[in-house]
Structure 1
Amino acid sequence: MSFNSIEKEIKELLKNSRCIAVVGLSDKPERDSYKVAKYLQEHGYRIIPVNPSLKNDVLGEKPYSSLKDVPGNVEIVNIFRRSEDVPAIVQEALLLKPKAIWMQLGVSNIDAAEQANKENVLVVMNRCIKIAHGLLLGKNQQQ
């Protein structure tokens, strides 16, 4: 199975999901994690910040120290952390039973991806969710 799933599968995921936990979200507007989360929020997604160093709300949402602390339904876990940090994050993420684990550009971990796949969780690695959303669900694409 290919870990970078086909475009149709990713498009369906983005169309049918509403809640995204962003692991490694920064409160600094110049950071990519902030820009991506803001974009997603502007396109109708609820963003859940996950970063132990955050003490105040980010983009109007309460931050959580860990995925273990996140209440409710998370459909996508979007990871802005180093590749070597991914296995522990995926282990926590699987407790939430998300539809997908999404590793941003420059982030990948085959072992963690295989672990998620065993739980029937879609895995996207080394790809920007903002860019994918724009390409697949942008103004010129059929919703």
Structure 2
Amino acid sequence: MPVHAVDQLREILEYDTIAVVGASTTPGKAAHGVPQYLIDHGYTVIPVNPFADEVFGLEAYDSLEDVETEIDVVDVFRPSEETGPIVDAAIERDDVAAVWLQLGIRNDEAGERAEAAGKLFVQDKCIKVEHQRLMG
């Protein structure tokens, strides 16, 4: 089952570097506001968006495979049906400790693969809401 125990959510929120897959350049979208919130709260955010050169003035990468710096958490803003390959790419990385699918996004099979690989996994929760609730 996905991680939802408060201590495990806190553990994920203690990490520093979050790759945001599907980070948006469009103000008003959750995929823009949530990563901006994370930046404002001291996280290092790595935008992953193949259709943007930069997001928040930060270099945007085409895929997780293209990110050369260390990633702690992969936060996903993509439709549920697109998350399997993203989760698999996160599993392939030794540095990734957790995969977080945003509110409304679920993939139980990918979650099982992530947990079997030793990754923490959260789905259908907003990282901003959980940060405000647990760390605020």
- For residues 22 and 43 of structure 1, the distance between their equivalents in structure 2, rounded to whole angstroms, comes to 15
Structure 1 runs of 4+ off > 3 angstroms? none
TM-score w.r.t. structure 1 length? 0.91
- For residues 111 and 100 of structure 1, the distance between their equivalents in structure 2, rounded to whole angstroms, comes to 16
- For residues 19 and 127 of structure 2, the distance between their equivalents in structure 1, rounded to whole angstroms, comes to 12
Work out whether 1:5 is the aligned partner of 2:31.
no
Give unpaired runs (5+ residues) of structure 2.
none
* Partners of 1:102 and 1:125 within 8 A in 2: yes
CA RMSD of aligned residues (A): 0.9
Pick aligned residue for 1:73 from 51, 70, 88: 70
TM-superposed CA distance for 1:39, in Å, is 0.3
State the partner residue of 1:48: 46
Instruction: State how many pairs are aligned.
Output: 135
* Partners of 1:5 and 1:122 within 8 A in 2: no
- For residues 113 and 73 of structure 2, the distance between their equivalents in structure 1, rounded to whole angstroms, comes to 16
- For residues 100 and 5 of structure 1, the distance between their equivalents in structure 2, rounded to whole angstroms, comes to 12
Work out whether 1:88 is the aligned partner of 2:72.
no
Q: Which amino acid in the other structure matches residue 3 of structure 1?
A: P
Residue 55 of structure 2 aligns to a residue whose secondary structure is coil
TM-score w.r.t. structure 2 length? 0.96
Give unpaired runs (5+ residues) of structure 1.
139-143
State the partner residue of 2:132: 134
Q: Which amino acid in the other structure matches residue 13 of structure 2?
A: L
TM-superposed CA distance for 1:111, in Å, is 0.6
